[in-house]
Amino acid sequence: MSRAGGHGPGHDAETAIGIRRWALMTVAFTAVMAGVLFGTAGTFDWGGAWWYLALIAGNQILLAALLFRRNPALLAERSEVRAGAKSWDAPLAAAIAIVGPLTMAIISGLDVRYNWIGYVPPEIVLRYLLVAVAGSLLATWAMAVNAYFSGVVRIQDDRQHRVVTSGPYRAIRHPGYLGAVLVTIATPYILGSQWAVFVAPVVVVVIILRTWLEDRTLLAELGGYREYAQRVKYRLVPGIW
């Protein structure tokens, strides 16, 4: 990752290592998710799981294609927890990115195996798949325009952190979190599990909490953010909050 004032081969090598680390983490998470889904379901004959895995893989491929050209240092930044990360953020980030999705996958797989509640109509699956695609594209758009879209909450002084006001940031202050909310709400329906629906609101509450804490951090510590927040009033949902 680039350091303030850093240039040359050292910077390139460090970024390349970070990109490889990010790629390995992404492939490993997708593989684990596939193992959990099909392992708990006891079958590969599960269309919702294949759609969900395609969503994950497609989003990461698109993200890599965009950022590798536009901002490879951001892939490296997102590959590890760096100095300055807020101590309260680690459990929240884990709950949103790992614990929540895996919990919904396990419950959904068991629901498929034991048919606890039953059939979810294909039109419902398709409707929520489109919601999840919209959420993924919104989050990817936010990452593409925001060079500081780290995986953890921290003020990136080492990367000359500044306020980003372009793209979806013109309308709301945390578009990436809105994208995460949409994907979270849609996931149980894509997987066809009405039991997993009860997990999604818990994850959404954690996303909202993290949004509030990150926004409070940026207001207190990032130069220019308070002025930006006066222009762009809403954190997550236009007209509401």
Q: How high is the mean pLDDT in each 10-residue block of the chain (241 residues)?
A: 30 77 90 96 94 93 85 79 84 93 96 82 90 96 89 85 92 96 96 92 97 95 93 93 91
Please name the residue ranges forming H helices in 84-235: 89-94, 100-114, 122-145, 175-190, 200-221, 225-231
**What pLDDT does residue 116 have?**
82
Residue 24, classed as helix, strand or coil, is helix
* CA 211 to each of CA 124, 177, 216, 227, 236: distance values in angstroms, whole numbers, following the listed order: 29, 7, 9, 18, 8
**Per-residue b or e along 199-226, where b marks 16 or more CB atoms closer than 10 Å to that residue's CB:** bbeebbebbbebbeebbebbeeebeebe
Q: Residue 110 in contact with residue 40, Cβ under 8 Å?
A: yes
**What pLDDT does residue 4 have?**
26
Distance CA(227)–CA(45), nearest Å, equals 53
Handedness of CA 155, 156, 162, 167 (dihedral sign): negative
**What pLDDT does residue 71 have?**
82
Whether this model's pTM surpasses 0.85: yes
Q: Residue 217 in contact with residue 157, Cβ under 8 Å?
A: no
Two structure tokens written together for 158: 């080492």
Task: Quote the radius of gyration of the chain (alpha carbons, Å).
Answer: 19
Q: In the chain, what are the domains?
A: 9-231 (1.20.120.1630)
**What pLDDT does residue 7 have?**
30
**What pLDDT does residue 75 have?**
80
